[in-house]
Structure 1
Amino acid sequence: MSLRVIFAGTPEFAAAALADLLKAGFSVPLVLTQPDRPAGRGMKLQASPVKALALQQGIPVAQPRSLRLDGKYPEDAAAARQALLDARADVMVVAAYGLILPQWVLDMPPRGCLNIHASLLPRWRGAAPIHRAIEAGDAETGITIMQMDAGLDTGDMLLIERLKIAADDSTASLHDRLARLGGRMIVEALELAACGGLTRTVQPGEGVCYAHKIEKAEAQIDWAQDAAQIERRLRAFDPFPGGLSQLDGEAIKIWRAEPAEGSGPEGQVLRVDEAGLVVACGQGALRLTELQRAGGKRLSAAAFLQARPIAVGAVFKNA
């Protein structure tokens, strides 16, 4: 049996899954994605990666601002409802869509809505599971294919696969591996669903954490934190929002760092060489290896220091 699949998603993580579904031969009569957003220096409206792929493949796209029939944009929700009905799909696949699905959406496909979630549920529910896993120092993460319900990532688990978090993983690198894993797993889940082979497992009630959305203000580096904690946050916030600190009144972005020997006042530069600059933290020290000036490019420490020398004894401060 070949399932007809409505796909709902927005960023690159979701586009990877849509590409795998199409490659596997699933019929996708409709794609839901977020409305176009302004982006780039010109702030021109830009289609999401999912929309771009759908249009390339000739798949109809709906971009409602809301799916709540009684909400702020009832006309959008009504139009989306008609599009969903017309699609006559067996199942909906959801991956980082960005809109809450009301009950009428969850109930519409005969086989319900399956979510590709980038966490070993229930460890990280919410908007930013990849970032928060790195920030917390988790040794592993993974993908959970979940049967969606009205709660926030509370539905029954269908498939789960683990993935080791490397010591140098950033959100960018881990995202790409999880996206590939999610695409493979949703194909497997739908193939099993087509022959009645999926087993549902209720999520454990213990070990639940909420992965709050990443805020730009979190970029501010608190040098009073220990070196390991700051280093994890830098990796977690790459590519957004990075790490930010003030040096002699100038905002400096810090992208990469590694543990180093040394101690001193918080934020003080202890050593400077081609390998980087060693900065004291609340406990331990970090060698900063990749930095960026406002309006500039990300540079290795050696290249950065050629353009912007930093003396021993200088102090990085919170903004």
Structure 2
Amino acid sequence: MTRIVFMGTPDFSGPILEAVAANYDVVAVVTQPDKPVGRKKVLTPPPVKVVAEALGIKVLQPAKLTGSDELAAIIAMQPDLIVTAAYGQLLPEELLNAPKLGCINVHASLLPKYRGGAPIHYAVMNGEQETGVSIMYMAKKLDAGDVISQRAITIEETDNVGTQHDKLSALGVKLLLETLPSIIARTNDRTPQDESKVTFASNISREDELVAFDRPTTEVHNHIRGLSPWPVGYAKLDGQNMKFWSASRAEGHGNPGEILQADRDGLLVATSDGAVLLTEIQPAGKKRMAAGDFASGRKDLLGKVFNG
């Protein structure tokens, strides 16, 4: 049976690991180290580690793969193929060259668009009508290898990064299982990426999370849903951060960022060409809540302005 080393870290990768392990011999799983999470900084394993341990698969967690004992151990296992899915580190050249069938990656975009660590976020934030999954050979350059197979899905108006994440993870499972037999048989296609069409999706920074209302309604709406449910967009109201979990496009007119309406429907906030209706928010120091509950009886909110 084909010997596979699987490399991945977040929730996106878990179902892919489960599917590969159910059909092939996964000899080890490589993931990122456990990290402190939450206000109490509880040391928490990556989702892929949880899946791997439940399946009884050996787990390696190098902080840095290059030059590590874990790298030597992986090569010594003599895997036929390495499969990665949102691992979070570039693979050193000696590892790329080790498996006889190569190293492949399950990437959540239609390459060459959105190379990088946040392809789902940027596809939604940029108002793309579709995105998808690419199975590709790995190369020294980030997400630049030849594409083996691709499958597209529609981004619906009601989608946010969370719903797209789940759809793309499921699509990644299906496409990978369809593609692996041809890779193992060495009969697969491989298409070089068109470098003239490359775009990037770097990891989301704190600055990217700030929602600016001085843009068109569609862009503001896409920004909010492209950051929900993580890391969640925000702006300041009365000097305090407020997070925006969900919103919809709406009609209205006022100065960008101005609260035009505050009632049980939510907070109607002006944009450069209309308005968005904030329907689920999180005020500073409080839990996520319906915007209508926050706005109830708060006539003082009218005319206030969200800003950076």
Calculate the TM-score normalised by the size of structure 2.
0.95
Mapping of 1:82-161 within 5 angstroms? 82-161=72-151
Partner of 2:276: 286
Q: Give the Cα separation in 1 of the matches to 2:293 and 2:114.
A: 38
Partner of 2:235: 245
Partner of 2:177: 187
User: Structure 1's 29 and 207: CA in aligned 2 closer, same or farther, altered over 3 A?
Assistant: same
Mapping of 1:146-295 within 5 angstroms? 146-295=136-285
Sequence identity of aligned pairs in percent?
A: 38
Shift of 1:178: 0.3
Partner of 2:21: 22
Instruction: Report the residue type matching 1:19 in the other structure.
Output: E
Instruction: Report the residue type matching 2:15 in the other structure.
Output: A
Instruction: Report the residue type matching 1:227 in the other structure.
Output: T
210-219 or 130-139, which moves further after superposition? 210-219
C-alpha contact (below 8 Å) 1:218/1:241 kept by paired residues: no
RMSD of equivalent CA atoms: 1.5
Deviations 1:111-149 (A, max 9, x none): 110000000000111111100111111100000000111
Calculate the TM-score normalised by the size of structure 1.
0.92
Q: Give the Cα separation in 2 of the matches to 1:153 and 1:133.
A: 16
User: Structure 1's 307 and 241: CA in aligned 2 closer, same or farther, altered over 3 A?
Assistant: farther
Deviations 1:162-213 (A, max 9, x none): 0100112111110000001111212222122223331111112322111111
Q: Give the Cα separation in 2 of the matches to 1:140 and 1:108.
A: 35
SS in 1 for 2:180: helix
| Structure 2 runs not aligned, ≥5 long | none
Shift of 1:308: 6.1
Deviations 1:44-82 (A, max 9, x none): 21111111111111111111111222xxxxxxx1x1133
Shift of 1:311: 3.0
Q: Does residue 80 of structure 2 align to residue 49 of structure 1?
A: no
Aligned length: 308
C-alpha contact (below 8 Å) 1:11/1:50 kept by paired residues: yes
Shift of 1:248: 2.1
Q: Give the Cα separation in 2 of the matches to 1:307 and 1:64.
A: 53
Shift of 1:85: 2.9
Deviations 1:202-256 (A, max 9, x none): 1123221111110122222212111111110101111222121222233211121
User: Structure 1's 110 and 216: CA in aligned 2 closer, same or farther, altered over 3 A?
Assistant: same
| Structure 1 runs not aligned, ≥5 long | 70-76
Q: Give the Cα separation in 2 of the matches to 1:8 and 1:276.
A: 43
